[in-house]
A and B are shown apart, each in its own frame.
Chain A
């Protein structure tokens, strides 16, 4: 090939080549055109998806206050020890060094936490550092470059173990909570939240005190480090709620209980505001906030003390003689045993057409007893006969009027309905027929009947103020705004003033000389209407004697006491149960009296 021919040939080949290169270059150009112009929206979205994250800001939980603004549940600023997200894998080693060098323990259950604190650059590993711990950490910070101290809010219960059942507690949101939130379509409100109310007011008013989350739009890099905040919408804090509770009374009642187990409920009979709500023994709600240890949990669920049980609404007790005023009212309403009718009590009641005998609590009997005295001295003999004549259906009708055997629908979780037994119930439950003797003992509050302390207090309030049509409640105000009381819907049952007067006179006489709690009345400068009760926990055989001294504690009788005061125009109603306390008047009565004194006499305690 000579040079001239080659040049011509070469020119042709590079022309072909150039055209080929242009075509070749068009391919990526078209691809880039497709990406940048046609698919622009898609890739913009993907790019934002990459770098822009929307993270929820959990709301601050509302505080819970008593009626006088004493704080029951609050949010406390604590110092937390935090680890850089990126160094999370080094945690076991850091944990060991922290323990060895500074003697600081970190919280277990960390794996969960890392998820909870997504898109925060640090994750808490220990809450609530003490001043000493903070000082020693700061001094040795150079040893732990991956750790830092931050401030966070945690739920705080300044009253400690006091009023725990009323206040309740919060705990980490678990799968069960998520399921129920999904059912109620509330999951959006819990974005970013780690805790939820699990019991008591914290649970019942969860919707009010939880609040709504805000949102923060942040830019993150490929390693999910937060670069900057693009925009922020503040969270709406939960509402502060005032309970109807008067914490002073609460405290006095708890102190009066001491180590004893039981419950006390105080209600204002004018509006059914619950003034005191005590269940003993109690627990420390703060234990639950960040997951309770297995050991602490089993301690709380100890079979004998059952500290977790909210005895006010879920403790079921035989009412004993505290049921007698209501039984009396049932009889009077049906024109049975109306004064001046009286019996002569010789210490026992013999069942008609039977050799079976029911003893009175007082050996030798009370002598001549009419309805008023029967209540004042708690004469069992009088009520055995009364019950038999009245019969279960009529008795139950009145007990139902007073809301026994069904929930009061108070605004707290876990309420039980108690039990008002009848023939049909016994047949169904025990497949046994009803005996006349059971009617007799039902009339003195034994038998199958089970009540909650709240039911007792509620019924007493209805007795003290028959026109009361508001159900017992705990919520007083939301963010300082008073709430409408919810009226009880059922038809009002009327009791004649005369019948009520007899029963009430009987109850007033309980604390007068000769009454079962006369000693309470001696020191009282106001008049109270009360009824003592002693609920037997195990059936004594016929003629067997009950001897308090030789019985083990857990088989001892429950002591009960219901009262309202002042007897005229009552302002407060109290029901007290002391488990295994023995006699109602002497054990439960003084506890109630202290609360009454505080409320009526030392108002500015």
Chain B
């Protein structure tokens, strides 16, 4: 038993795990503070964490070489699942995002957040010595397929996340600044085209981002209630379980996407600073690990997974503080929900696995 634990201990990065657990713990504290029939939610969330930790454990004992060799197949499977979603997906709120598998619903777009970086990192590892413009374009093409499929669902938020995680690898793999800047210009020029193709509800969200108080009971309601929750928290918050915005149901989706608003209302700016510090530490630790890894694949994948987590954190917080439109994105490690928790923990597991086998797939 002790031997197993010893083995376990060797395979994990204590600082990264500690930070992760601390953030998860804060999420549980926040969830249990709300008095909206929490008993089930807490139990379910603990189960989610447990499932996530099993996957995490499996992954840290997995040789990343397996991941590496299966990367293209995993990518193709996820693409296949995304296509399945398009035909057999469960529809809710006018979007098809889930595949129903009896006991659980799978959201393939969440899976893509891991398998795409895996694929792109594989690509750059495989052609490490032949990095060229052509390779970059191949990578861009591979990114565009899942992004397009997720956009079809439609799920703007997740597709942007996926695109970012992919392009980030291209950036880290050495694409020249000239290319980065020119592609940015193309993106800006094409934005009116995107606007035309957006759904009405997506347009509304962008409009209220500019001024949520234009329609306080309609499209701006969520944003305003969230801003009220945060703002009324003040410096030190209303206290655990004392958030009136949360407990009186003014805050929508208080347990899932808007958990950070609950946290801000109850723990104030002081609490926000602590969480921000934890998030930053998390990324910093991941970057340190990536920097110390040997193989291109490991480095690229680790940073990409780290930035995926960071992006989700950033977009979620920007959303609840009224900086970006509401896109329906959970806060990693804190929001109630299985997929997000499992995917986030799996990401950490993969990073630790890569860290354990620094040299295994080094050249």
Whether B232 contacts A40 by the Cβ 8 Å rule is yes
Whether A46 contacts B244 by the Cβ 8 Å rule is no
B221 to chain A, nearest CB (A): 10
Whether A25 contacts B314 by the Cβ 8 Å rule is yes
For A1, the chain B residues whose CB sits under 8 A away are 128-129, 131, 174
Whether B230 contacts A32 by the Cβ 8 Å rule is yes
For B290, the chain A residues whose CB sits under 8 A away are 10, 14
Bound-state Cα–Cα, A28 to B132, Å: 37
Contact with A along B279-319 (1 / 0, CB 8 A): 11001100100110010100100010001001000100110
- The stretch among B55-63, B107-115, B268-276 that forms the contact with chain A is B268-276
Please report which residues of chain B, range 305-363, place their CB below 8 angstroms from some CB of chain A when the two chains form the complex.
307, 310, 314, 317-318, 321-323, 362-363
Whether B244 contacts A47 by the Cβ 8 Å rule is yes
Contact residue among A18, A36, A51 (Cβ-Cβ distance under 8 Å from B287): A18
Whether A44 contacts B232 by the Cβ 8 Å rule is yes
Q: B49 near A: Cβ within 8 Å? A: no
Q: A296 near B: Cβ within 8 Å? A: no
Whether B228 contacts A37 by the Cβ 8 Å rule is no
Whether A27 contacts B231 by the Cβ 8 Å rule is no
Contact with B along A361-380 (1 / 0, CB 8 A): 00000000000000000000
For A6, the chain B residues whose CB sits under 8 A away are 128, 174, 296
A37 to chain B, nearest CB (A): 6
Please report which residues of chain B, range 139-170, place their CB below 8 angstroms from some CB of chain A when the two chains form the complex.
168
Whether B248 contacts A221 by the Cβ 8 Å rule is yes
Which residue of chain A has its CB nearest to the CB of B221? A222
For B262, the chain A residues whose CB sits under 8 A away are none
Q: How many residues on chain A are close to B (CB under 8 Å)?
A: 39
Whether A10 contacts B314 by the Cβ 8 Å rule is no
Contact residue among A43, A221, A222 (Cβ-Cβ distance under 8 Å from B231): A43
Whether B280 contacts A35 by the Cβ 8 Å rule is no
Identify the interface centre among B168, B172, B284, B363: most chain A CB within 10 Å of its CB: B172
Which residue of chain B has its CB nearest to the CB of A11? B291
Contact residue among B232, B303, B317, B318 (Cβ-Cβ distance under 8 Å from A43): B232
For B248, the chain A residues whose CB sits under 8 A away are 50-51, 219-222, 227
Bound-state Cα–Cα, A578 to B268, Å: 81
Q: B239 near A: Cβ within 8 Å? A: no
Q: B88 near A: Cβ within 8 Å? A: no
Bound-state Cα–Cα, A42 to B247, Å: 20
Bound-state Cα–Cα, A31 to B209, Å: 13
Contact residue among B250, B269, B276, B280 (Cβ-Cβ distance under 8 Å from A51): B250
B62 to chain A, nearest CB (A): 24
Bound-state Cα–Cα, A39 to B234, Å: 9
Contact with B along A218-249 (1 / 0, CB 8 A): 01111100010000000000000000000000
Bound-state Cα–Cα, A116 to B131, Å: 76
Whether A9 contacts B174 by the Cβ 8 Å rule is yes
Q: B233 near A: Cβ within 8 Å? A: yes
Contact residue among B174, B272, B280 (Cβ-Cβ distance under 8 Å from A36): B272
Which residue of chain B has its CB nearest to the CB of A14? B287
For B314, the chain A residues whose CB sits under 8 A away are 24-25, 28
Contact residue among A2, A27, A50 (Cβ-Cβ distance under 8 Å from B228): A50
A177 to chain B, nearest CB (A): 31
- Counting chain B residues whose Cβ lies within 8 A of the other chain, the interface size class is 35 or more
Given known A-B contacts A14-B291, A27-B318, A32-B272, A47 and B229 have beta carbons under 8 A apart: yes
Given known A-B contacts A36-B230, A36-B272, A31 and B322 have beta carbons under 8 A apart: yes
Whether A37 contacts B269 by the Cβ 8 Å rule is yes
Bound-state Cα–Cα, A2 to B128, Å: 8
Q: B227 near A: Cβ within 8 Å? A: yes
For B244, the chain A residues whose CB sits under 8 A away are 47, 50-51, 219
Bound-state Cα–Cα, A47 to B269, Å: 17
Whether B321 contacts A28 by the Cβ 8 Å rule is yes
Identify the interface centre among A17, A27, A220: most chain B CB within 10 Å of its CB: A17
Bound-state Cα–Cα, A39 to B224, Å: 13
Given known A-B contacts A35-B227, A51-B244, A21 and B129 have beta carbons under 8 A apart: no
Q: B245 near A: Cβ within 8 Å? A: yes
Given known A-B contacts A17-B307, A50-B228, A36 and B268 have beta carbons under 8 A apart: yes
A543 to chain B, nearest CB (A): 83
Bound-state Cα–Cα, A17 to B303, Å: 10
Q: A540 near B: Cβ within 8 Å? A: no
Q: B138 near A: Cβ within 8 Å? A: no
Whether A25 contacts B279 by the Cβ 8 Å rule is yes
Identify the interface centre among B168, B229, B250: most chain A CB within 10 Å of its CB: B250
Q: A181 near B: Cβ within 8 Å? A: no
Please report which residues of chain A, range 41-87, place their CB below 8 angstroms from some CB of chain B when the two chains form the complex.
42-44, 46-47, 50-51
Contact with A along B178-196 (1 / 0, CB 8 A): 0000000000000000000
Whether A221 contacts B250 by the Cβ 8 Å rule is yes
Q: A555 near B: Cβ within 8 Å? A: no
For B168, the chain A residues whose CB sits under 8 A away are 17
Whether A10 contacts B291 by the Cβ 8 Å rule is yes
Q: A22 near B: Cβ within 8 Å? A: yes
Whether B318 contacts A46 by the Cβ 8 Å rule is no
For A25, the chain B residues whose CB sits under 8 A away are 276, 279-280, 314
Whether A40 contacts B234 by the Cβ 8 Å rule is yes
Whether B234 contacts A37 by the Cβ 8 Å rule is yes
A3 to chain B, nearest CB (A): 6
Contact with A along B219-263 (1 / 0, CB 8 A): 000000101111111110000000011011110000000000000
Contact residue among A21, A36, A42, A221 (Cβ-Cβ distance under 8 Å from B269): A36
Please report which residues of chain A, range 308-335, place their CB below 8 angstroms from some CB of chain B when the two chains form the complex.
none
Given known A-B contacts A47-B245, A51-B250, A36 and B235 have beta carbons under 8 A apart: yes
For A32, the chain B residues whose CB sits under 8 A away are 230, 264, 269, 272, 317, 321
Bound-state Cα–Cα, A219 to B272, Å: 27
Given known A-B contacts A27-B318, A28-B317, A36 and B279 have beta carbons under 8 A apart: no
Q: B21 near A: Cβ within 8 Å? A: no
For A9, the chain B residues whose CB sits under 8 A away are 174
B259 to chain A, nearest CB (A): 14
Bound-state Cα–Cα, A436 to B336, Å: 102
Whether A222 contacts B250 by the Cβ 8 Å rule is yes
Whether B276 contacts A10 by the Cβ 8 Å rule is no
Bound-state Cα–Cα, A416 to B309, Å: 85
Bound-state Cα–Cα, A44 to B318, Å: 21
Contact with B along A253-284 (1 / 0, CB 8 A): 00000000000000000000000000000000
Given known A-B contacts A31-B322, A37-B235, A222-B249, A3 and B228 have beta carbons under 8 A apart: no
For B233, the chain A residues whose CB sits under 8 A away are 36
Which residue of chain A has its CB nearest to the CB of B290? A14
Which residue of chain B has its CB nearest to the CB of A223? B249
Q: B8 near A: Cβ within 8 Å? A: no
B331 to chain A, nearest CB (A): 12
Whether A21 contacts B231 by the Cβ 8 Å rule is no
B236 to chain A, nearest CB (A): 10
Whether A10 contacts B299 by the Cβ 8 Å rule is yes
For A18, the chain B residues whose CB sits under 8 A away are 283-284, 287
Q: A541 near B: Cβ within 8 Å? A: no
B94 to chain A, nearest CB (A): 23
Bound-state Cα–Cα, A25 to B225, Å: 22
Which 6 pairs from chain A and chain B are nearest by CB?
Answer: A43-B231, A47-B232, A221-B248, A222-B249, A35-B231, A36-B269
A3-B363, A18-B287, A47-B229 are known; give 20 further A-B pairs, CB within 8 A.
Answer: A6-B128, A6-B296, A9-B174, A10-B299, A13-B172, A14-B287, A14-B290, A18-B284, A21-B310, A27-B323, A28-B321, A29-B273, A31-B318, A33-B269, A36-B230, A36-B264, A37-B234, A39-B231, A40-B234, A222-B249
Can you offer 18 A-B residue contacts whose CB atoms are under 8 A?
Answer: A10-B172, A13-B171, A13-B174, A17-B168, A17-B172, A27-B318, A28-B314, A31-B318, A32-B269, A35-B322, A36-B231, A36-B268, A37-B235, A47-B231, A221-B248, A221-B249, A221-B250, A222-B250
Chain B interface residues toward A at CB < 8 A: 128-129, 131, 168, 171-172, 174, 225, 227-235, 244-245, 247-250, 264, 268-269, 272-273, 276, 279-280, 283-284, 287, 290-291, 294, 296, 299, 303, 307, 310, 314, 317-318, 321-323, 362-363
